[in-house]
Structure 1
């Protein structure tokens, strides 16, 4: 049993530095730095700072680590809000700090509970991965959810490793990375003679932890190697659809200016025309590619329809939509499916809206905040899992923010989608790391669901993602471009599609159960 009378050390400069260092290292594992190997040791400095301090001080150091990581990962929010939300820079920095403070709370809770629940080294080793996965799961839905920058996402380029996402989503990868950090940490403590919460680390225990981490990593890689071969074979044998995409590269400052409506529309028609001679089955335009209400502005709609007819292919076109009823006017961020003659076949409405971008939550209490998209009223959300059907294929659209939520891609596949399509406008982010971080999300949607994914963006990065997570035929940022290639349309349903976030929920249940048990024991 841990020595409950041990003297905890106060927070000093070395502990502050170690917490800051962990925050920086975690950020370095993500694009654009992209040192994915750093994630496997990024938590060790924080753990060294936590090893002999109190629960309360653990919260403080964990929050500092999480804050620094969030600021490094999400710095681009300030640029976006000041440029397109027209907020003063001091206010955008304040909002960034507020949001990063919220994200940092999850690392603070991790640090608190790893001390509270993991009083012995073995408990800490086993609880830490479950705790981290549980907290990431909570972040996926609390306050509307924000799944950006999970620890497992940093490994998107290690294809063999990420294949296990079709079992347990990104949460299993995050847990594995944390387990590896914990094993290395206790190995360091054992070799240096340092303690964890007053307890020494016997070498046999440290080596058992290391072997456990190596065994879990090896098993994941073996599964990934086998699964890669299986999915490659299934993809080669599956029906294929020849798909094209158009990246118009319309500057955000011009996108909603009525003076540029015709020029913007002609740009996309031109790109579809370039693809036409190659006879694609489907061409995808990005989110709000038409800077007007398609099928409401008759002149511009006819221009688009003639462009579709000339290209001779079905199109999925991002456009704002409006619906009038007795209850008033409802606006939607939508994707229209048009047949090769330009006739509308179906429409998908974005299901998960961006807070402060497409609607303003808490208007009553935050009246000074406006939307980034100021040209329309608040958008309304559509139902999740919507499908566009064409030529025997069921296509699952994901419009921008939709795509960072695995449940929406799963809902589409459970509704029969054999292909995923992402329509996005990342012009908001400029040349920051955000477009690269956003692309990473769709690697995981492809692997989790075992579906090909077509990604059409306004300014990049557009391209195709194979069901194994391989990124193919991409565009550069801020170029006008068209791409075309065959994509496999798989029908298989992965375990993750069938059971969803069961692994993460089990982790949460175990952590809650251990917390209640620990509280009961302390009272007893």
Structure 2
């Protein structure tokens, strides 16, 4: 019996709202909210598969899924509006327009999911469609990473604090967690569709009992595991300058000397106070001390140009003063016969201040580091004039550094937005990196959900590769993340400071590090198999 016409649309809106909750909204997310991901998509699955009475059920299902996707992207990434208006100088109407375009494009993934699911259900039955659902969703998350290059807040990130499900990441990456979440949502949807479709009280009772039982099991499994002890063997000083991203970064005359003096002062502090966890979550405070094996400076608007003598001289003096190697965010430069190329770089110096090379950012931020279709976005003149296209790096190199005790360890550096691309970051570990250094500037996001979402995605990279991450940011969240994704130390946002960070090294190569997104690609292949099987089958009565 067809449901009322308004109910599937209301269910799509409900799913979009529920799906916002397992991710940070305006601050760090309480871990319990991650459990909502186990049921958030049930209303959408029901809306897609329940009899609608529409003469065009495939189009109807696509539009229901598309509505859910547009609403979710607009809510999850509302920070685009703030970034474009405050830092891009785009008027409110234009900022809303950019957010809407973004949501309309990426919302298509939800629409395609709904279309494929309905098509399979019409040919193979609802049961087989729900079996296909986890494969379809995982495949479309892979498409979002590879085609549109926006794998922001994939569903599996919602379980970064769930130790039971996070253990899938070293094997299948975040996609493995996504798959399990969709399978559980599909089970709930199947149970509910069966109960409602039969109309018998006993089926409804069984549905509630099975759903409640599975829910309790999931809650218990995720939060009852004992934490793994991971010892620390080294110390780094992570500098947080808290520079205004909109301020000119020339540092003329005495300003340069004052700022370099402040950097040296922060880098040579033997101790610092910190949060033993994520800021703003009630984490306890403590104090840490140690002789550094590394000094890091984040991506920031500081005028650190590779070819400038004053920069090289200042870094040499800093290295000699601290007896430590340095990783410094700045502007790499390379002259070719045609032009001078600029790179967003992590520049590396040994403990004597001798340059050891640089890592040039490979995955650049659209509209932040280059403007795709610059002529098309004529209405964003202030933004397009402000952003000069930066050249892309080509090599995910790692660096062998010697600390003050003569110990050699290999470091992998990635910059800001690159942390959301799992298959790219794992290559640093595959190339021998024993620890990751993530330098970032989240000042563009302001006090929105984005810095916290970004942090959680970086935490998943630690889990997938079982690596410590030294996350050094311009204005927070500066933190140390252990190989199980736990924030062990951090300092407050929007403050000038330094984190004396305790960390360790690991040369283990996980299955995900070695093989990457093989599980997600398998889901993509099987998804095509489901669709092709449906094409060759006659219509099912469902």
TM-score range, shorter chain: 0.7 to 0.9
Query: Secondary structure at 2:247's aligned position in 1?
Result: helix
Deviation per CA, 1:281-310, whole angstroms, max 9, x where unpaired? 10111014632313x232344234323322
CA distance in 1, matches of 2:73, 2:39: 18
TM-score, normalized by length of structure 1?
Answer: 0.88
For residue 160 of structure 1, report the CA deviation from its aligned partner: 2.9
Cα separation, partners in 2 of 1:373 and 1:471, compared to 1, 3 Å: farther
1:162 to 160, 166, 169: 166
Q: In 1, Cα distance between the equivalents of 2:131 and 2:461?
A: 28
Which residue in 2 is equivalent to 1:504?
520
* 2:154 matches 1:142: no
Measured against aligned partners, the alpha-carbon deviations of 1:225-269 in whole angstroms (never above 9, x if no partner) come to 59x65xx4xx44xx8332221111112122525456555444433
- Counterpart Cα distance in 1 of 2:498 and 2:22: 31
The correspondence for 1:244, drawn from 234, 237, 246, is 237
Per-residue deviation, 1:357: 0.9
Tell me, in whole angstroms, the C-alpha distance in 2 between the residues paired with 1:173 and 1:93.
32
Change (3 A) 1:174 1:431: same
Deviation at 1:347, TM superposition (A): 0.7
State whether residues 367 and 387 of structure 2, in contact with CA within 8 Å, keep that contact through their aligned partners in structure 1: no
Match of 1:242, SS state, is strand
**CA distance in structure 1 between the partners assigned to 2:257 and 2:67 by the alignment:** 49
Question: CA 1:261–1:367 in structure 2 vs 1: closer, same or farther (change >3 Å)?
Answer: farther
Deviation at 1:86, TM superposition (A): 1.8
Q: What's the TM-score once normalised by structure 2's chain length? A: 0.85
Deviation at 1:19, TM superposition (A): 1.1
- Structure 2: segments with no counterpart, 5+ residues: 272-288, 403-407
Contact 1:186–1:201 (CA under 8 A) maintained in structure 2 = no
Could you say which residue in structure 2 is the equivalent of 1:52?
A: 51
2:373 maps to which of 349, 362, 379: 362
Q: Following the alignment from structure 1 to structure 2, what is the Cα–Cα distance between the partners of residues 343 and 121?
A: 64
Residue 370 of structure 2 contacts residue 387 of structure 2 at CA under 8 Å; is this kept in 1? no
- Change in 2 beyond 3 A, CA 1:452/1:32: same
1:86 to 82, 86, 89: 89
SS at match of 1:253: coil
For 1:488 and 1:148, how far apart are their aligned partners in 2?
28
Equivalent in the alignment of 2:41 = 43
Distance in 2 separating the partners of 1:452 and 1:131: 32
1:163-242 equivalences under 5 Å are: 163-193=167-197, 229=228, 232=229, 235-236=230-231, 240-242=233-235
Partner deviation per Cα, 1:39-98 (whole Å, 9 max, x = no partner): 111112222322123121111111111111111110111111122222222111101100
Most deviating of 476-485 and 283-292? 283-292
- In angstroms, what is the RMSD of aligned CA positions? 3.1
Give the 3-state SS of the residue equivalent to 1:252 in structure 2: coil
Are residue 19 (structure 1) and residue 12 (structure 2) matched?
Answer: yes
1:444 aligns with 2:460: yes
Q: Conserved in 1, the CA contact under 8 Å of 2:39 and 2:185?
A: yes
Q: Show the counterpart of 1:30.
A: 23
Please identify, of 105-114 and 500-509, the stretch whose mean Cα deviation from structure 2 is larger.
105-114
Distance 1:131 1:216, change over 3 A: farther
The structural deviation recorded for 1:21 is 1.4
Correspondence 1:123 to 2:142? no
Aligned length: 504
In structure 1, what is the equivalent of residue 451 of structure 2? 435
1:3: which partner in 2?
Answer: none
Counterpart residue number, 1:388: 399
1:264–1:515 Cα change, 3 Å: farther
Q: Distance in 1 between matches of 2:377 and 2:497?
A: 40
- Residue 401 of structure 1 corresponds to which residue in structure 2? 417
Distance (whole Å) between structure 1 residues aligned to residue 262 and residue 211 of structure 2: 56
Distance 1:162 1:428 in 2: 29
Q: Indicate conservation of the 8 Å contact 1:464/1:471, yes or no.
A: yes
Higher mean alpha-carbon deviation, 205-214 vs 43-52, is at: 205-214
Give 1:342's aligned residue.
Answer: 353
Shift of 1:403: 1.0
Moved more, 304-313 or 145-154: 304-313
Q: Deviations over 1:87-137 (max 9, x none)?
A: 222111101100011221111111111111134232122111111111101
The answer to whether the 8 Å contact 1:170/1:444 transfers is yes
- Higher mean alpha-carbon deviation, 33-42 vs 435-444, is at 33-42
Q: Is the 2:415–2:438 contact (alpha carbons within 8 Å) kept by the matching residues of 1? A: yes
Say which SS state the counterpart of residue 307 (structure 1) adopts: helix
Q: CA deviation at 1:273?
A: 2.2
CA distance in 1, matches of 2:259, 2:95: 30
The 5-angstrom pairing of residues 281-296 of structure 1 reads 281-288=293-300, 290-294=302-306, 296=307
Residues 157/211 of structure 1: CA separation in 2 closer, same or farther (3 Å cut): closer
Q: Aligned partners of 2:34, 2:345: CA distance in 1, in Å? A: 35
Unaligned runs of 5+ in 1: 1-6
Shift of 1:395: 0.7
Q: Which digits, 9 at most, give the CA deviation of each residue in 1:143-184, with x for residues without a partner? A: 3x1111111111112223212100101111111111111212
Residue 253 of structure 1 corresponds to 246
Q: Label 1:29 to 1:218 Cα distance change in 2 as closer, same or farther (>3 A).
A: closer
Selected match of 1:102 from 94, 102, 105: 105
Distance 1:112 1:358 in 2: 35
